[in-house]
Amino acid sequence: MPDSQPNVIQAVSLRVRDVHKLTAFYRDVIGLVILAESTDRCILVGRGGGHLELVASPTSELAAHSAGLFHVAWLHSTRYGLAQHLHRLIEHQVPLQGMSDHLVSEAIYLADPEGNGIEIYRDRPRDEWQFDGDSIRMATLPLNVRDLLSTPDTNEADSLRIGHVHLRVAEIPNTEKFYRETLGMDLMTRYGPAASFLSYGGYHHHLGINTWESRGQPAVPNALGLRDVTISLDLERYEKAKSVAGGDRLVDPSGNAIHIVDGREV
């Protein structure tokens, strides 16, 4: 298994205009399963874990260039699963925003019908990851789409779960410091001064933060898009973060809401 902590990102909650339209998209195109549904809320889950909550907020406004969600990244456990997902996206004629080889992973980028970013990816085996000192080596290279689509079926069971989440932030230094010092994440690498990638257990990243579209613009309260991210912590990190925040709800320096849970209880 490429990630020794497979359920670090437990859930992502989004404010949306049309719950039913997005529910159909995440069920039929992304392949999630509906756990609970009402007129104004839906909870879906991947076959390997990770909950997506859609909450109706029809009066909320879009704040595309402020801090918030960059993308939720859904991780396939097999390359064949990723290939089949790409076939499904093509069949549904879903516009793609990009396809990249990141050295540690292969990724497909798109957005849901309300513009919330999505990454669909698979990890290369950890023994293929390379490091420059303490920094993991990542890049953004063209994906070999022909080779991916021709991936043979090895009859290996495939699962889909939230592998990481990537946030837009207003500034890097203090936001990175928050995730390192308050939540105890390890810095895995930086892309210049505008992006950092952090994780637990040596994973390439459970969390990405960037200012590519949001520099100097903190999160707008009650805007469409990200409500909060739920992160599972080990007991020591959980107790430390909870004592700092005075509870299990935190807000990073860019205004993104984080819900922390004790990993023993999930």
Domain extent listing, the chain:
9-265
The Cα 48–Cα 158 span in angstroms is 9
Give the CA angle between residues 100, 105, 107 to the nearest 5°.
40
Tokens 């299990």 belong to which residue? 248
Alpha helices in 49-199 (DSSP H): 79-91, 145-149, 173-177
pLDDT at 6 (0 to 100):
61
Q: What is the 3-state secondary structure (H, E, C) of 218-235?
A: CCCCCCCEEEEEEEEECH
Q: Looking at residue 7, what is its pLDDT?
A: 87
Q: How many helices (H) and strands (E) does the chain have?
A: 5, 18
Q: Is residue 263 within 8 Å of residue 233, measured between CB atoms? A: yes
Q: What is the pLDDT of residue 265?
A: 85
Q: Give the model's pLDDT for residue 1.
A: 37
- What is the pLDDT tens value at each position of the chain, 266 positions in all? 344 456 899 999 999 999 999 999 999 999 999 999 999 999 999 999 999 999 999 999 999 899 999 999 999 999 999 999 999 999 999 999 999 999 999 999 999 999 999 999 999 999 999 999 999 999 999 999 999 999 999 999 999 999 999 999 999 999 999 999 999 999 999 999 999 999 999 999 999 999 999 999 999 999 999 999 999 999 999 999 999 999 999 999 999 999 999 998 87
Question: In terms of CATH architecture, what is 9-265?
Answer: Roll (3.10)
